[in-house]
Structure 1
Amino acid sequence: MGRREFSEEFKREAAGLVLEHGYTVTKAAKAMGIGESALRRWIGNRRPVGGASVSAVESDNPEQFRIRELEKRVMELERERDILKKFHSLFRQGIGSRYEVIQQAEKAFPTEVVCRVVEVPRSSYYAWKARQRQENAARVGLVREVQAIHAQMRQSYGSRRMSKEMRRRGYAVGRERARRLMREGGVQAQTRRTHRYVKREQSAAIAENRLDRKFAVTVPNRFWAGDVTYISTQQGWMYLAVVLDLYSRRVVGWATSGSCDTFLVIRALQLALEIRRPDPGLMFHSDQGSNYASLAFQQFLSERAIVQSMSRKGNCWDNAVVERFFCSLKGECTGERAYRDHAEARADVLDYILKFYNPHRLHSAANHMPPAEFEEVKKVAV
């Protein structure tokens, strides 16, 4: 295998992760699939004299930490209030256990007297209290873990993914229990606005729908899909083009611009090709957008022996994988945020893709693993 050659656009993109977006050299090199020494060389060629250190120091936001601590405290107080209300009801109605009655009564009377009246050995009552403390501590720990996951995963996990993530972290939590813990912790997945699409069946004029919704792919770098979306900023629309590998649902290429043109989608696909280095026979699927139907894009694919596939006209379900990614991006990242300019929006989107979606976000199509981890596990298995 010969020495890999990289374009200047690829080098700028890789170096920009460190110089402009605060990535460490190690993280940036891993995200781009290159060696650290090469990346350091590219950075050195682009850094002004007296520039800042390559490594970025991540610091916690004190205000966010304080808010999280206050939220935990509020949850604890609400939980204590609910428990007291429940015990009072049981004591008043006479339907609670003897231990619960004792626990209520000892607030007003000595424990020794209450235990004698209800004919319960004090040792048994204290043992019950010890077990209750252990169980309560375990439950509080689980609730806090659920709250931590909720914050780390951008408030995107429902009970199904929450239970999967809890089991990945060593907790035996099923979906129903995860739902109860989420309810107790006061967390729920963010709701997203949905868009109703009109389904049509016209065939593409440029390329047939060769993919034909066969999204269950068993090998990497054979079937890719791409699309373009827009993100609002005070500077104007920023357009984002992405390329996903249907095998793992990993975002393997991306590009942003203030113009939604053919050059934008070519840049995204070129970056993916340089990162992944696929073997001949790759199929690329997209909608019938003018940038994908242009002669320049068709020539780009032809020169690299890439087979083109297109969705039927007006049928978004033929490219559902990329549409679903955009739904996650806007629901978990961009949402209703008011970005100052393209640079701020681009930095946020890259953080979402490279620091969250690819390495951490569980995906059902990847055996409930993050896309990057799914590829590593499969690579080791082979």
Structure 2
Amino acid sequence: MIRATYDRYDGKYGYRQIQLFVHQDHEVWMNHKKVQRLMQEMNLRAKIRRKFHHHWGWNYGDRVARNILNRNFETTAPKHKWVTDITQYRVEDCWLYLSAIKDLCGNKIVAYNMSLRNDKELVLETFTKAFEIEKDVTGLIVHSDQGTQYTSFDYHDMLPKVGAQISMSRRGNCYDNVSWRASSHI
């Protein structure tokens, strides 16, 4: 019964949950210690999901830009203020990362890109797409958080080459990114 229950749920659960499922499915009550011992004898183990850990306290040095935007998310001119961020989506057994750039004039998505990896290449490819669409971006302010992708040397080299200024939120201040989060146009 234990093996059948374990197989039925694709090995996702440990002995405590298997104990409850055996009782639910077969109407047999067993002590959780007995279920644990029998699962160990049959070498049945729960598939453990990896936990996501936040890493705080990186030292970025000079690659953190000052907050030029300073919560002024309004503009009437296109290609004047862009905001960018990365979000993640769980799809079955993997994570998909979406990098997007939004023009604050009209809340239009300028470019986006998806990847299985959350790295600087994702961001750089997104900006490459954006610069193919919007040719002249001289004087543009690009605002982001202080993620590792946005503090990379490649990011800080790319934007000034096209005439854009880099603006970053202050550390640990979600209100500096309110315009991105509050938009329902994404």
Task: Name the residue aligned to 1:315.
Answer: 173
Secondary structure, aligned partner of 2:87: strand
Task: Name the residue aligned to 1:132.
Answer: none
Alignment of 1:159-238 (within 5 A): 206-238=64-96
State the 4+ residue runs in structure 1 displaced beyond 2 angstroms. 276-279
Report if the CA contact (8 A) 2:145-2:169 is conserved.
Answer: yes
Q: What is the deviation of 1:245?
A: 0.3
Q: What is the deviation of 1:235?
A: 4.1
Q: What is the deviation of 1:302?
A: 2.2
Q: Give yes or no for the alignment of 1:296 onto 2:151.
A: no
What per-residue deviation string (whole Å, max 9, x for no partner) do you get for residues 111-166 of structure 1? xxxxxxxxxxxxxxxxxxxxxxxxxxxxxxxxxxxxxxxxxxxxxxxxxxxxxxxx
Aligned CA distance change for structure 1 residues 309 and 260 (closer, same or farther; 3 Å): same
Aligned CA distance change for structure 1 residues 296 and 279 (closer, same or farther; 3 Å): closer
Counterpart of 2:81, as a letter, is F
Task: Name the residue aligned to 2:145.
Answer: 287
Report if the CA contact (8 A) 1:316-1:323 is conserved.
Answer: no
Alignment of 1:286-365 (within 5 A): 286-325=144-183, 328=184, 357=185
What per-residue deviation string (whole Å, max 9, x for no partner) do you get for residues 189-245 of structure 1? xxxxxxxxxxxxxxx951000000111101001110100000011140000000000
Q: What is the deviation of 1:252?
A: 0.7
Q: What is the deviation of 1:298?
A: 0.6
RMSD: 1.7
Structure having greater relative contact order (Cα 8 Å, sep ≥ 6): 2
Aligned CA distance change for structure 1 residues 312 and 306 (closer, same or farther; 3 Å): same
1: CA distance between counterparts of 2:91 and 2:137?
38
Counterpart of 1:308, as a letter, is I
Report if the CA contact (8 A) 2:96-2:114 is conserved.
Answer: yes
Q: What is the deviation of 1:304?
A: 1.4
- TM-score, normalised by the number of residues in structure 2: 0.63
Q: What is the deviation of 1:269?
A: 1.6
Structure 1: which 5+ runs fail to align? Answer: 1-203, 329-356, 359-382
Structure 2: which 5+ runs fail to align? Answer: 1-60
2: CA distance between counterparts of 1:258 and 1:316?
25
- TM-score, normalised by the number of residues in structure 1: 0.31
Q: Which has the higher helix share?
A: 1
Q: How many residues align?
A: 125
Among 117, 141, 157, the residue aligned to 1:259: 117
